[in-house]
Amino acid sequence: MSVLAPPTGALAATATTSGIPVPPPLLAELEALLRRLRLPSLRQAAPGVLATARAQRWEPAEVLRVLLQEEVRGRERSALATRRATASFPTGKTFAAWEPSLSSIPLPTQQALQTLEWVQRHENLVVCGPSGTGKTFFLEALGQVAVEAGLKVAWFSLEGLGILVRRHRADDSVTRAVRAILRADVAVVDDIGLLPVSPDAAEGFYRLVDAAYERRSVAVSSNLHPAGFDELMPKTLATATVDRLLHHAHVCVTSGDSVRLAQAIAGKGVVPLPASPPARPARATGEARRG
């Protein structure tokens, strides 16, 4: 079966008014087959690849290889986009904007964590310290590295875990919901200690840490060291949670002043607005006009 519509020119490519050759469209039947087989990237690339293949007299196997490679790349791109969307990252920030020297986490530690070997070992990560010291940013940037490496990340606040528990308590499906979170390789619980912790949120946090224990990685950011979590939630629950969380955990304690505050003071917190227009020249006084 011929894959291309019968050629009308030497390479079956028509020229647009701009002079750029446009590859001929695929045969309707071939297009339909590619749609049915769900090969969207191959379908999009096919007209161009086939035109080039004819012009350069490629081996048939090479044509097949290039077309399949297009499909594989397309699938990888869309899987990455899905993993990113499913992770629900708070801002979309990555290490591209991260300044290692602004962080009090030692550089070798930052680098070691970026290898994600701790995730492969199902270890946990706790980043704790004062406000504005880059805890959330660091976890999000690590999460992005994980997603790019093909891992799944699930991002939560404690409040979000509380909502999840409440939503699933009615039909007794909390355990199943927590298990679903742990389809991710890393579950992040961000900003512990900023808001009061409801009983539902404390329960959700315990359930998550317990279910992930030695099976998945949990990464948390907190203004309090986990040893102080009993200030936030009932002591027994806090002890059981922290015990499991810290057993195989890397603890990074951040320190120093808020980077937020430093950036705000330096005028780097906003895109500068245009300066206010120059003052209009003072109106000529009646006297001046008269004179």
Residue 81 is a binding residue for ligand ATP (CB under 6 A): no
Identify the residue among 41, 133, 144, 217 touching ligand ATP (CB under 6 A). Answer: 133
Inter-residue contact 109 to 142 (CB < 8 Å): no
* Residues making up the chain, counted from first to last: 291
Give the binding range for ligand ATP (CB under 6 A) out of 40-48, 54-62, 133-141, 161-169: 133-141
Q: Which residues contact 30 (CB under 8 A, 6 or more apart)?
A: 3, 46
Residue 131 is a binding residue for ligand ATP (CB under 6 A): yes
Element (H, E) at 211: helix 199-212
Binders of Mg ion in range 126-165 (CB under 5 A): 135-136
Give the CA angle between residues 110, 143, 212 to the nearest 5°: 100
Residue 216 is a binding residue for ligand ATP (CB under 6 A): no
Give the binding range for ligand ATP (CB under 6 A) out of 13-21, 43-51, 132-140, 204-212: 132-140
Residue 136 is a binding residue for ligand ATP (CB under 6 A): yes
Element (H, E) at 250: strand 249-253
In sign, the C-alpha dihedral spanning 13, 14, 18, 19 is: positive
109 forms beta bridges with none
Identify the residue among 24, 47, 132, 162 touching ligand ATP (CB under 6 A). Answer: 132
Q: Report how far residue 220's alpha carbon sits from residue 198's, in angstroms, rounded to the nearest whole number.
A: 17
Give the binding range for ligand ATP (CB under 6 A) out of 28-36, 126-134, 200-208, 211-219: 126-134
Nearer to Mg ion, 41 or 136 (CB): 136
Q: Which residues contact 87 (CB under 8 A, 6 or more apart)?
A: 143, 147, 152, 153, 154, 155, 184
Identify the residue among 191, 209, 226, 232 touching Mg ion (CB under 5 A). Answer: 191
Nearer to ligand ATP, 51 or 158 (CB): 158
In sign, the C-alpha dihedral spanning 81, 85, 88, 89 is: positive
Residue 144 is a binding residue for ligand ATP (CB under 6 A): no
Inter-residue contact 262 to 104 (CB < 8 Å): no
Q: Least distance in Å: CB of 97 to ligand ATP?
A: 6
Report the half-sphere exposure of 106 (CA within 13 A, side-chain side): 6
Q: Least distance in Å: CB of 104 to ligand ATP?
A: 9
Q: Least distance in Å: CB of 135 to ligand ATP?
A: 3
DSSP 57: T
Binders of ligand ATP in range 220-279 (CB under 6 A): 221, 223, 259-260, 263
Report the half-sphere exposure of 131 (CA within 13 A, side-chain side): 5
Residue 222 is a binding residue for Mg ion (CB under 5 A): no
Identify the residue among 89, 137, 206, 229 touching ligand ATP (CB under 6 A). Answer: 137
Give the binding range for ligand ATP (CB under 6 A) out of 131-139, 148-156, 157-165, 233-241: 131-139
Binding site for Mg ion (CB under 5 A): 135-136, 191
Binding site for ligand ATP (CB under 6 A): 98-99, 102-103, 131-137, 191, 221, 223, 259-260, 263
